[in-house]
Amino acid sequence: MTIVTPDYYKNFKCIADRCRHSCCIGWEIDIDDATFNKYDNLKGDFALKLKSNIEFEGTPHFRLDTTERCPFLNSNGLCDIITNLGEDMLCQICSDHPRFRNLYSDFTEVGLGLCCEAAAEIILTKKEKTSLSLTTEASQLPILNFREKLFGILQDRSLPIKNRVNNMLSLIDAYLPVDTNWYSVFYSLERMDKTWDDYLLRIKDGIETEADEHSLDTAYEQLLVYLIFRHFSDCQYDGKVKERVLLAALIYKVIKAMNTSNTLKELIEISRLYSCEIEYSDENINRLLSELSLYINPR
């Protein structure tokens, strides 16, 4: 199977103990069948510790402590499974994170998720335009041909990012109303981190920013290209082409409105939080898509 990745993908490396928002805290860590079989065949003291920290109700998963910390994340911020057994003994979800996959019949796209602070920094600080190494045959698929048009519009650096977003929405003949109470919409979604609630308060008065500031246009371009790359491909299954383009525009506007300091540092942190709170919940994504379907111009 052919694997396609964005050009920044090769730059990613887990920063382990230097991570301020460990993916080993606050997430349920399911154990896939192949890895479970490996663990089941282990012998010795560490094997006993490993097996005693597995919860078997439902899908096998590690039993988190009272602070939702993985039992194998040690006080130095490192993984005891890796230090004792090696990286090849990690379960699939740990090996994959923060990667996501877009599946097609003849190839798979693999990207990096913004939920990881290291990945978010790589993506949002990139100065060059993001590119994908698609084959000629793949680039001619209708869905990907259209996505290339979206990328082209978003990467037109002769225009301010606000104009590029408007041009993207014009292409799909849809709009994003300014009078919708997006604060209420987002507040009604499943939420995990209190910090996200604090950021949501920043959009209580709306998501249209008054300042015509362009210093972060390249970072917002990378954010929008990421959002289209991550979410647009699923329209091949649900047909929600316009909704998924609107989703990218909405998230851009929400994050921009939240970034009241207009700094790259805060943009990276808000984007990381958004990804954790929204992108890893199918229910949250689907609810936003349903809301956005109300604003599609009928033909």
> What is the C-alpha to C-alpha distance for residues 232 and 289, in angstroms, rounded to an integer?
12
Q: Which of 16-25, 28-37, 54-63, 243-252 has the lowest mean pLDDT?
A: 16-25
Q: Kindly list the distances between the CA atom of residue 45 and the CA atoms of 84, 88, 90, 180, 266, in Å, as whole numbers in the listed order.
A: 11, 19, 18, 58, 44
Q: Which residues contact 231 (CB under 8 A, 6 or more apart)?
A: 244, 247, 248, 285
pLDDT attached to residue 299: 45
126, two tokens: 């990139």
**Which ranges in the chain belong to alpha helices (H)?**
33-40, 45-52, 80-85, 92-96, 117-124, 136-139, 142-154, 161-171, 182-187, 194-200, 217-231, 235-238, 241-258, 264-274, 282-292
Band the pLDDT of 285: cuts 50, 70, 90: very high
* CB-CB neighbours of 212 under 10 Å: 7
Asked if the model's pLDDT at residue 297 lies above 60, the reply is no
Asked if the model's pLDDT at residue 137 lies above 90, the reply is no
Q: What is the pTM of this model?
A: 0.91
Band the pLDDT of 250: cuts 50, 70, 90: very high
